[in-house]
A and B are shown apart, each in its own frame.
Chain A
C-alpha cells in the first residue's frame, strides 16, 4: 500500500501565506491547543485521549515476574507503542519500522520510562524473587497530527488511573489479594511528564503549538519539550530540520509551562 501522500504545493503555500498573517488553517490561534478530551475506563488503566482528530488509546496492565538479576529490588516497566495500519493508510507494523515510528516511540520511551516517572522500587514484592512488571501499551487509533503529545498524555493518565492488586508479604510468603477481596492500590508515581510540541515554518520565524497533520507535513522543523507539574524539564527533542534561534526555544519553554499546567488540570478532572 502506498505510504502517506504528501500535501500538494498549493496546500502548503496556502498554509504558509495564512500563517504569515497569523492565521492557521483550522482557525486556531498560533498558541492554541486543540480540544483535548480524556476518557477513562471502564476498566482501570484504560484511557483514551482525543486531541482534535488524533486519537490514542493507552492500556496499562501488570503481572508478577522475576526481577532482572542486576536490579533485584526494582520492578520492571515495559513499554510498547507501534504505529499500526489503523491510524493512517500505509503504516505497516510487520516490516521494518519507519523513521517516523522510531522517532515517536523513542521519544515516548524517554518520557515515560527513562524519566523514571514510575517508582520501580515500590513494585518490588520479594527482593530477587518476585516483582511487578507494569506494561504500557499505546495504541494509535487515528492520526491527525501530533501523536507524541496525545500519546504522552494518554500514557500518564493511564498510569495514574491504573490500580494493581494489593499484596501482603509474610516472611518468604507473598499473598496477592483478589480485587474483590481487598481494594487494589494505585501505582506510586514520582511526577507526570507531559510533551508539548511546536512546529516551525519558513526560516524558523513562524511557530505554532500543537501542529495538526497538514502543519506537521509542511513544517521545516519540530521541537518537543517535556515538562512535569513541578515545572521541571524532563526531555527535549529537536530532531533535524532547520536551525533555530535559542531565543525561540526560551519562548517555547515559557508557553509550554503554561500549557502543561492546563493539561495537568484536565487529567486531574478526568480521573
Chain B
C-alpha cells in the first residue's frame, strides 16, 4: 500500500514553523505540516469585557477562522474544543480579571488542520509569554477504507477515510490525552492503534517545538548581549 504522496504509514509531513512574525500581536506562531498551514496570534493579558470578567482567573477566548469563507458551525466547535483544552494548560490565576485572546487563522487546509491549530496555539502562547502548566501537541490519524492506519493524513486521504482521530497530549502528562476528537465508525482496536501512533508522533512534534523555541530564545539572547 502506498500513500498518494509516497509517505510511510507512520511518517508525518515536513514540519515548519516561524515564531513572532506578527507585530501587533503579543505573541504569534505559524505552524505548517506539508501544505497545511495555520497562523495563530495571541493578545494577552489584556482588558476584558465586563460580562466576561472572572474574579479569580483570566478569561480565555478563541477565534477560529477558516481559509475559505466565513466561520461556520464546525469552526465554532473547533473554538470551544481548543478553548477547553487550553483552559487547563494556561495558569489563568496569575492574571485575574484579564483576557487572553487566541486568534487562529487557517492559511491553507490540506487535512489535519485541527492538530496544526493546536500546535500553532501552543507555540504562540509560549511566544507571548503566557504562563503555561505544560505544552500541548496534537496529531491526526486516519483509518483508510482497507483498514490501514495512516498518520497526518492529507485532505485527499481524509475524504476517503473510514474514520479520523485527533489526539493532543500534554508534555507533562503523557499517559492520558488532553484532546480527543474521533469521527466516523471504528473498532476499539483501531482506536487504540491510532492512540499509540498519535502519541509517538506528538513526541516528534514536541522535539520540533523545543528546537524552534530554543533557536528563537538563543537568537534573542545573542541580540541582547
Contact = CB atoms under 8 A, between A and B. Distances in A.
Interface stretch (B21-29, B128-136, B184-192): B21-29
B70 interface: yes
Contact of B22 (A80, A85, A141): A141
Contact of A142 (B23, B46, B101, B108): B23
Contacts of A139: 65, 67, 105
A143 B70 contact: no
Contacts of B67: 59, 137, 139
A2 B108 CA distance: 31
A150 to B, nearest CB: 13
A37 interface: no
Contacts of B49: 1
Given A82-B70, A85-B103, A86-B41, A143 B24 contact: yes
Contact of B108 (A42, A53, A93): A42
Interface residues of A, number: 26
A96 B105 CA distance: 21
Interface string A126-151: 00000000010101011110000000
B103 A84 contact: yes
B65 A84 contact: yes
Interface in A53-110: 53, 55, 57, 59, 61, 80, 82, 84-89, 93
A43 interface: yes
B69 A137 contact: yes
Nearest to A53: B23
A141 B105 contact: yes
A260 interface: no
A46 interface: yes
Given A43-B108, A53-B23, A142-B25, A1 B101 contact: yes
A135 B25 contact: no
Nearest to A2: B47
Given A84-B63, A85-B63, A1 B23 contact: no
Nearest to B68: A61
> Which of the listed residues A43, A61, A89 has the most CB atoms from chain B within 10 Å of its own CB?
A89
A55 B22 contact: yes
B170 to A, nearest CB: 25
Nearest to A86: B103
B23 to A, nearest CB: 5
Given A85-B43, A93-B63, A142-B23, A46 B107 contact: yes
A163 to B, nearest CB: 15
B68 A86 contact: no
B48 to A, nearest CB: 7
B78 interface: no
A258 B9 CA distance: 54
A84 B48 CA distance: 17
B118 interface: no
Contacts of A144: 23-24
A139 B105 CA distance: 8
B65 A80 contact: no
A57 B70 CA distance: 15
B35 interface: yes
Contact of B68 (A88, A93, A135, A143): A135
Contacts of B68: 59, 61, 135, 137
A89 B46 contact: yes
A42 B32 CA distance: 12
Contacts of A137: 67-69
Nearest to B65: A84
Contacts of B23: 53, 142, 144
> Which of the listed residues A59, A82, A87, A141 has the most CB atoms from chain B within 10 Å of its own CB?
A141
12 contacts: A1-B43, A1-B47, A55-B22, A57-B107, A59-B68, A85-B103, A86-B22, A86-B103, A89-B43, A89-B46, A89-B101, A144-B23
Interface of B: 21-25, 35, 39, 41, 43, 46-49, 63, 65, 67-71, 99, 101, 103, 105, 107-108
Given A84-B63, A142-B25, 16 more contacts: A1-B99, A1-B101, A2-B46, A43-B35, A46-B108, A55-B21, A84-B103, A84-B105, A85-B43, A89-B24, A89-B46, A93-B65, A135-B69, A139-B65, A143-B24, A144-B23
The 8 closest A-B pairs by CB, nearest first: A86-B103, A53-B23, A142-B22, A2-B47, A86-B41, A89-B43, A61-B68, A88-B24
